[in-house]
Chains A and B, each alone.
Chain A
Amino acid sequence: MTLENTSSVRPDSPIVRSPNNLSVGFGRLLSDPMGVFGLILVSTLVFMSVFAGIIAPYDPAAIDVLQRFETPSWDHLLGTDELGRDVFSRALYGGQTALKVAFMATFAALAIGTFLGITAAYGPKWLDNIIVIMLDTIRAYPVIILALAVGPIFGASLTLVIGILVFTSVPYYGRIVRTAALSVLQTEYIDAEHAMGAGTFRVTFKHVLPNIIGPMLIMASMDIPVVIAAEAGLSFLGVGIKPPDTSWGLMLDQGYRFINRTPWLVIAAGIPLVIATLGFTFLGEALRDAFDPKSQRAR
């Protein structure tokens, strides 16, 4: 029995954990087979899309009417479409569009949602009520119906797709941030900050935001596949990306018309869509498990 180590100051007491939660979390992510699988899918996808300009053998918009509906060959890895465009190149550029839309829309929605959520939680009751009613009203609109309604008014474009997706995702983040911020605001350390005289700005940025942003980023990463699928859906319905730009949804739409003649077009656009959705979902779930201290015991 040693009592010497129970003196007043114990710099090396056993409860000291590694302060670097980030490396612990990523370590745990790499121990999760699902996480590694998701990570591989996502990084492949990101690599292929970012370097589409180098990898793609053809210009995705280059029309070659002599080579329509080619089956896959060494010249055209995934064949050609009804205008003789190289499907493989188009799929690569489609990935670029998908990722651009997904990241921009998710990030913007997260930023706006966080701002509104924290304002609602911290602000006076009447402001809270207004923001919550506003968010719930937006949430009541189905995405597709909204897109079909505003698409013809503004004219389909990449900006419109992102705009619609941001608009419909904001309530999701706003609501969750508001709840998370409310629970942080009830803790003793926030009382302690107020008792010390800390102002709104300081409490919000130094104490509330850092304590909710981690889980929010993970939630956003799980939302990316939803946004990718939504973009594809909108483009498929003709209210999204317009030619000459490419999108998986657009390719599906065009391929669908010739599905009896050649199934390649639909497959070439469908497979990457499935890979993207699976990859981001796996990665998101693994991230959540790896960084959520509560799930530690479950594995």
Chain B
Amino acid sequence: MAFDHQKPPTLRVSNLSLNFGPVQALSNVSMDIGHGRIMGVVGESGSGKSTLARATLGLLPGIAEISAGRIEFEGQDVALFDAADWRQTRGATMTYISQDPLRALAPTLTIGDLMTDIQYRSAETKQEKRAKAIATLERVGLPNPEQRMKMYPHEMSGGQRQRISIAMAVMQKPALLIADEATTALDATLELEIIGLLKELQSEIGCSMMFVTHHLGVVASLCDDVTVLHNGVIQEQGTVRDVFGSPQARYTKTLLRCDPAMIQQKTRRLPTTSDDPDAPLVIDTGPGDRIKSQKPPLIDIKNLDVTFRQKPFLGGLLGDTGYEINAVKNASLSISEGETIAVVGESGSGKTTLARTIVGLQKADAGSIHFGGQDLTQLTHAQYRTIRKDIAIMFQDPVGALSPRMRVSEIVTEPLVIHGVACEDYEAEARRLLALVGLDESFMHRYPHAMSGGQARRVSLARAIALQPRMIVADEPTAGLDVSIQGEILNLIAEIQDGTGVAILLITHNLNVVRHISDRVAIMYMGDFLEIGTTESIFANPKHDYTRKLISAHVHPDFSVTQAHG
């Protein structure tokens, strides 16, 4: 069959404009997804990318209103679909994979129930459906599918749950598969596996796919075409090769530039959206004296053990053994003044527990943490108070780490109040701190919920530096931030470090960021450090297989290094 002009594309969105009340979510968006093509929809939070996916699925909230344009699925206008039409379509010819598989899978049904229920349209017998379910689970790489048919979603790991979601989505051999940030919640190594799986399945079934993501690397390695959305407007559209190879729109250029994975050389200053995207990249190696090993260690962690325990009460009589999780075991690490050390590991590796133990929110079971001549693990609660002036922590959730009923001016000066530091004018001090993190006076009287993630992160940083600590523990400082904001925050942290000589313990799973801003890297796995070394040496010749796997797992948006498409 030569070029078929009669057959419409699997999905055609033409001039779609959509608004939520007064807010314009999408304006004049057009997009064709041809048969067997994978379309990546890329954008930052609030760009309208998820709205586009939900509009296609007919799952918009009540206040959404399509003011112009149409969505055609296999030649049919979905606006004309009634409930019965949708039942024929969704889950059969058009399927969906969500970001959070735990919330997407009904918690009271077993995997077997979920997998056979979804075949309700077919006339096959129960045994046939079951066999098909097991075969599909096997196909998506779920180990022991027979046994897992009896298990519940919460008994699976995140990666396994996402495999089940994928199995449910592909079992009916859909014409269009819509995946909304399907790999975002997964660790890097898992992400790579899931992307590989999706690619295989897509070519096996021959379906079209809409892949919504904010991750440029994923698009480069998975998609054929890409649509770049910003504020509900398409910035650029075309094949991945064209758009990523020679971006035309200013926004696309900026987005690609801001991704730290795209910068080969190590730079202490990351590009931001306010830079001119056409100017050459500035590589900043930082002050020459940033060689830290000569400086005395500021904090010395030796053989640290942290265990979470639950003793069985009377349940012990019935065989309940309680549990004991060794979150951190025998970990040793020392940090010098003024250095940035990154603790890298996947979720559950114990990195956050380590951070919480250092700041005294979690008790250590064994080992020592020496800081300023004292062993922190031996201090009482009251004695710890003085240490808290010297060690500040920034938490993961940018907005959630700020007390919701306090204004920004109160939040940033709160450490001064708590420690009774003499301060003549708290307002002026708050203004000064905010200026340091690049926020103007208009933020003084805001509440946390009225700020974006990046702004809230700046407030957290201002609060962390209020008492001029000697060390800042930053737990995933870029989590939940868009790539363009991420650079700004990291630059700010680096600037503050250059100005004050504060040591930074960076906890993250984002190796692309680590490569640029940290002096040393500690790889954490199952509560223990596998290797600790300078950033250069870890990336150049990793000693452990796990480290190698972690480094190679980072999907790269640079088109030349990912596999060719055709």
List of B residues within 8 angstroms of A191 by Cβ: 356, 361, 395, 401
CA distance A206 to B418 in the complex (A): 12
Q: Are A189 and B404 touching (Cβ within 8 A)? A: yes
Asked if A198 meets B442 with Cβ closer than 8 Å, knowing A10-B452, A10-B455, A211-B405, the reply is no
Contact with A along B178-202 (1 / 0, CB 8 A): 0000000000000000000000000
List of B residues within 8 angstroms of A194 by Cβ: 361
Q: Any chain B CB within 8 A of the CB of A13? A: yes
Q: Are A192 and B273 touching (Cβ within 8 A)? A: no
CA distance A287 to B500 in the complex (A): 50
Q: Are B450 and A195 touching (Cβ within 8 A)? A: no
Q: Any chain A CB within 8 A of the CB of B488? A: yes
Q: Any chain B CB within 8 A of the CB of A73? A: no
Q: Are B230 and A1 touching (Cβ within 8 A)? A: yes
Interface residues of A in 190-249 (CB under 8 A from B): 191-199, 202, 206-207, 210-211
CA distance A192 to B397 in the complex (A): 11
Q: Are A297 and B61 touching (Cβ within 8 A)? A: yes
CA distance A193 to B403 in the complex (A): 9
Q: Are B440 and A11 touching (Cβ within 8 A)? A: yes
CA distance A10 to B485 in the complex (A): 12
Q: Are B395 and A9 touching (Cβ within 8 A)? A: no
Q: Which of B251, B361, B400 contacts A3 (CB 8 A)?
A: B251
List of A residues within 8 angstroms of B454 by Cβ: 8
A209 closest partner in B (C-beta): B405
How far, in Å, is A216 (CB) from chain B's closest CB?
Answer: 14
A side interface size, CB within 8 A: 32
Q: Which of B439, B449, B455 contacts A17 (CB 8 A)?
A: B449
Q: Any chain A CB within 8 A of the CB of B207? A: no
Q: Which of A3, A14, A297 contacts B254 (CB 8 A)?
A: A3
Q: Are B272 and A8 touching (Cβ within 8 A)? A: yes
CA distance A146 to B522 in the complex (A): 65
Q: Are A3 and B403 touching (Cβ within 8 A)? A: no
How far, in Å, is A197 (CB) from chain B's closest CB?
Answer: 4
A12 closest partner in B (C-beta): B442
Q: Any chain A CB within 8 A of the CB of B106? A: no
CA distance A15 to B445 in the complex (A): 15
Most buried by B among A9, A17, A207, A210: A9
Contact with B along A7-27 (1 / 0, CB 8 A): 111110111110100000000
List of A residues within 8 angstroms of B356 by Cβ: 191
How far, in Å, is A123 (CB) from chain B's closest CB?
Answer: 14
Q: Are A9 and B440 touching (Cβ within 8 A)? A: yes
Q: Are B251 and A1 touching (Cβ within 8 A)? A: yes
Q: Are B274 and A8 touching (Cβ within 8 A)? A: yes
List of B residues within 8 angstroms of A11 by Cβ: 440, 442-443
Q: Are B440 and A197 touching (Cβ within 8 A)? A: no
List of B residues within 8 angstroms of A210 by Cβ: 405
Asked if A188 meets B233 with Cβ closer than 8 Å, knowing A1-B251, A297-B61, the reply is no
Q: Any chain A CB within 8 A of the CB of B306? A: no
Give the interface segment out of B163-171, B384-392, B503-511, B531-539: B384-392
Asked if A197 meets B418 with Cβ closer than 8 Å, knowing A7-B273, A9-B439, the reply is yes
CA distance A184 to B515 in the complex (A): 36
Asked if A192 meets B393 with Cβ closer than 8 Å, knowing A8-B272, A11-B442, A211-B404, the reply is yes
Asked if A1 meets B403 with Cβ closer than 8 Å, knowing A11-B442, A195-B392, the reply is no
Q: Any chain A CB within 8 A of the CB of B396? A: yes
Q: Any chain B CB within 8 A of the CB of A260? A: no
CA distance A191 to B460 in the complex (A): 13
Contact with A along B429-460 (1 / 0, CB 8 A): 00000000011101101110111101100001
Interface residues of B in 50-80 (CB under 8 A from A): 61-63
Q: Are B251 and A197 touching (Cβ within 8 A)? A: no
Contacts across chains A and B counted by CB atoms under 8 Å: 102
Q: Which of A3, A13, A189, A195 contacts B452 (CB 8 A)?
A: A13
Interface residues of B in 295-309 (CB under 8 A from A): none
How far, in Å, is A31 (CB) from chain B's closest CB?
Answer: 15
B273 closest partner in A (C-beta): A6
List of A residues within 8 angstroms of B401 by Cβ: 188-189, 191-192
Q: Any chain B CB within 8 A of the CB of A187? A: yes
Interface residues of B in 243-259 (CB under 8 A from A): 249-251, 254
Q: Any chain A CB within 8 A of the CB of B14? A: no
How far, in Å, is A100 (CB) from chain B's closest CB?
Answer: 32
CA distance A191 to B397 in the complex (A): 12
CA distance A192 to B460 in the complex (A): 10
B492 closest partner in A (C-beta): A8
Majority-rule SS of B interface residues: loop
List of B residues within 8 angstroms of A199 by Cβ: 418
CA distance A196 to B401 in the complex (A): 12
CA distance A141 to B474 in the complex (A): 51
Q: Are B450 and A15 touching (Cβ within 8 A)? A: yes
Asked if A8 meets B488 with Cβ closer than 8 Å, knowing A19-B450, A188-B400, the reply is yes
List of B residues within 8 angstroms of A3 by Cβ: 250-251, 254, 273
Q: Any chain A CB within 8 A of the CB of B484? A: yes
Q: Are B388 and A188 touching (Cβ within 8 A)? A: no
Asked if A206 meets B251 with Cβ closer than 8 Å, knowing A9-B438, A15-B452, A17-B449, the reply is no
Q: Are B395 and A188 touching (Cβ within 8 A)? A: yes
List of A residues within 8 angstroms of B61 by Cβ: 297
How far, in Å, is A295 (CB) from chain B's closest CB?
Answer: 14
CA distance A210 to B446 in the complex (A): 17
CA distance A202 to B417 in the complex (A): 10
B448 closest partner in A (C-beta): A189
List of B residues within 8 angstroms of A188 by Cβ: 395-397, 400-401
Q: Which of B361, B405, B484 contacts A6 (CB 8 A)?
A: B484
Q: Any chain A CB within 8 A of the CB of B414? A: yes
List of B residues within 8 angstroms of A189 by Cβ: 400-404
Contact with B along A173-193 (1 / 0, CB 8 A): 000000000000001110111
Interface residues of B in 483-541 (CB under 8 A from A): 484, 488
Q: Any chain A CB within 8 A of the CB of B158? A: no
Asked if A196 meets B250 with Cβ closer than 8 Å, knowing A11-B442, A202-B418, the reply is no
Q: Which of B62, B233, B419 contacts A197 (CB 8 A)?
A: B419
How far, in Å, is B360 (CB) from chain A's closest CB?
Answer: 7
CA distance A191 to B356 in the complex (A): 9
CA distance A189 to B463 in the complex (A): 12
CA distance A207 to B230 in the complex (A): 37
CA distance A275 to B337 in the complex (A): 71
Q: Are A195 and B418 touching (Cβ within 8 A)? A: no
Q: Are A197 and B389 touching (Cβ within 8 A)? A: yes
Most buried by A among B62, B452, B460: B452
A4 closest partner in B (C-beta): B274
Q: Any chain A CB within 8 A of the CB of B481? A: no
CA distance A199 to B272 in the complex (A): 39
CA distance A198 to B445 in the complex (A): 22
B446 closest partner in A (C-beta): A19
How far, in Å, is A291 (CB) from chain B's closest CB?
Answer: 14
How far, in Å, is A56 (CB) from chain B's closest CB?
Answer: 44
Q: Any chain A CB within 8 A of the CB of B235? A: yes
Which residue numbers of B lie inside 8 Å of A, CB to CB?
Answer: 23, 61-63, 230, 233, 235, 249-251, 254, 272-274, 356, 359-361, 384-385, 388-389, 392-393, 395-397, 400-406, 414-415, 418-419, 438-440, 442-443, 445-447, 449-452, 454-455, 460, 463, 484, 488
List 7 extra interface pairs beyond A191-B401, A197-B415, CB under 8 A. A1-B249, A10-B455, A13-B452, A16-B446, A196-B392, A196-B415, A197-B388
What would 25 A/B residue contacts be, using CB atoms closer than 8 Å? A1-B233, A6-B274, A7-B273, A7-B274, A9-B439, A11-B442, A13-B455, A15-B450, A17-B450, A187-B400, A188-B400, A188-B401, A189-B403, A192-B402, A192-B460, A192-B463, A195-B359, A195-B360, A195-B393, A196-B388, A197-B385, A197-B389, A202-B418, A207-B403, A297-B63
A-B CB proximity, top 8 nearest: A197-B388, A11-B442, A210-B405, A188-B401, A188-B395, A197-B385, A189-B403, A195-B393
